[in-house]
Amino acid sequence: MKVLIVDDEVIIRNGLSTVINWADNGFTVLAPAASAEEALQRIPVEMPDIIFTDIRMTGLSGLDMAREVKQQYPEIEVIVISGYDEFVYAQQAMREGVSDYLLKTSRPGEIIEAAVQARERLLLQKLNQAKQEEQEKVVNRGFLRRLLASGKSLDDSASNELWERYPELCLELMGSALQIWILSVYPFEEKGELTIGEQHSVLGTELTEEVGGAWLEWHGSLLLLRRTEPNREWDRVASAIRNIESKQGCRIIAACGRTVSSVQELHIALSTALEASSYEWLLHSDQIIRYEEIKGRHGIRTVCSIEEETKLSSLLRSGQSPELQTWIADLLRRIRSQSQATPASVQSYLHSLIVSAQRWLIRSATSIGYTSPVTVEETYDIRELTRTPEKVLMESLGVIMKQYHDMVSTTSPVQRAISFIHEHLGQSLSLQQVAKHVHMNPNYFSEMFKKETGQNYIEFVTQAKLQKAMNLLRETPAKISEIANEIGYEDIKYFNRLFKKWTGQTPSEYRANPEFCPSMD
């Protein structure tokens, strides 16, 4: 801490400066001042922490100087060191804010002790001030969080309180506006000594020191509310973020909402910032995401196609996790490449894939005669489908893949063959092909198949194909020729004859009146 000695007697001021061992006690002594006037001129520049001053000096007295110092710099400790041991002087000194009153006859140890006590008072004062400031910041952030969480336009009372708590956000200049940024922070290295909250505090403080504004934690991310000045580019925030990344060894994805011109529109700034932030996975290569650049997107289709369902069921049936992972990675790359993709549409589309897999599992259980109940539980948060889609898909589909193969391992070869047939109704599967799939001799397989199903192989396959055709006629607007191709019949006339032979109706008649057709089960 810096000490300034003020005395108009050269012997006294030089003696106090040189005789006492200030440095060993942690003090730095400034050049002594020969008058109160000189001291008052130097204080704003040199900013001493502790001042030792005489009372009676040529010009202003030490007490006059103490009065001015305490008015302008109340944090400075002033100690009188006088040649007059008079109670009146001491009383007056205390009224002027002087911390201690010593005599010039005091020993060096007494003077150092007074300086040490003054230092302790200063340190305690600074500590209390820092605590108070931090408490005020916590209270202010709590107010700001409640204000933003309300999702409503601010009334005059809330606006005025915001300006009182955060005067740096006040829209004073013509053209100034408010922005909200949502920052996701990913450390390059784990910083075990800091919690996530502490990391956010460090980054938020550094960021506001560079670009101004206020910060607070927002559902695991860092929220920055700042005022922009006329003709100020957004690149200032981007530049500050890059500097912090380099300094703190982290990666930051920042999303900015719509710039608003009034505090009443803060809820709009927040909602658009959150919307921009939701594009983090989709725009993984962009570290700065602006609402203006994504607001016009319309979304992708929200339901998976029949071809995708077929491919997915084939992968699940194969039991090959690496192949499934490759397919998922390729699917997600294609989604990211679509310029109209939105988080909501991607979430719906990926959810439809999982639902499709769940339904396939239930159908497969039925087709192989699996008697135990099949339970399909969703163990994931659907919101994670647009945050960590590869992880969610692999975990969810992996569980379904395992369930299927656990079922198959407990069923007979004929039941596994039935499942295989249902999955390949669009192909012309021979009995030999199916027998090979379940590792059985064709003749023995034919006997076992007839024994377990009550039908020969050809009858069973034909009925399964036509049952699927009936389902498609009931549930889809597909053309009859398309349905015929779907179950492996290229000759539409042959399909029509076969359909009528088995159902008593043509495909067109059945589509018009499906309830009049007897069940084939």
For a pLDDT cut of 70, what percent of the chain falls above it?
A: 93
pLDDT of 388 above 80: yes
Using one digit for the tens of pLDDT, what is the confidence trace for 440-457? Answer: 888 988 888 898 888 999
* 513 or 66: which leads in pLDDT: 66
Residues in the chain: 521
Band (173; pLDDT cuts 50, 70, 90): low
Q: What is the mean pLDDT of residues 303-327?
A: 92
pLDDT of 337 above 90: yes
pLDDT at 123: 92
pLDDT at 413: 82
- How is the chain split into domains, by residue range? 2-124, 174-294, 306-411, 413-521
pLDDT of 520 above 60: no
pLDDT of 219 above 80: yes
* 40 or 153: which leads in pLDDT: 40
- The number of helices, as runs of H, and strands, as runs of E, in the chain is 21, 10
Q: Distance (Å, rounded) from C-alpha 206 to C-alpha 478? A: 61
Full-model pTM: 0.64
DSSP-derived secondary structure letter, 260: B
Can you tell me which residue has the tokens 């290295």? 189
Paired sense of beta strands 177-187 and 221-228, if any: antiparallel
CATH for 413-521, options being 1.10.10.60, 3.90.420.10, 3.30.450.20, 3.40.50.1970? 1.10.10.60
Using one digit for the tens of pLDDT, what is the confidence trace for 390-413? Answer: 999 999 999 999 988 888 777 778
Instruction: Report which of 59, 102, 58 is spatially closest to residue 83, judged by C-alpha positions.
Output: 102
pLDDT at 516: 61
Architecture of domain 174-294: 2-Layer Sandwich (3.30)
**For residues 456 and 464, is the Cβ–Cβ distance under 8 A?**
no
Band (192; pLDDT cuts 50, 70, 90): low
408 by DSSP, 3-state: which?
A: helix
Using one digit for the tens of pLDDT, what is the confidence trace for 452-492? Answer: 888 999 999 999 999 999 988 888 888 999 999 989 898 99
pLDDT at 424: 86
pLDDT of 518 above 60: no
Which helix (H) or strand (E) segment holds residue 290: the answer is: strand 288-290
pLDDT of 206 above 70: yes
pLDDT of 369 above 70: no
The top-scoring range by mean pLDDT among 22-26, 127-131, 147-151, 409-413 is: 22-26
Instruction: Report which of 314, 320, 303, 310 is spatially closest to residue 398, judged by C-alpha positions.
Output: 320
CATH, domain range 2-124: 3.40.50.2300
HSE-up of residue 489 (Cα within 13 Å, Cβ side): 21
**One-letter amino acid for residue 391 of the chain:** K
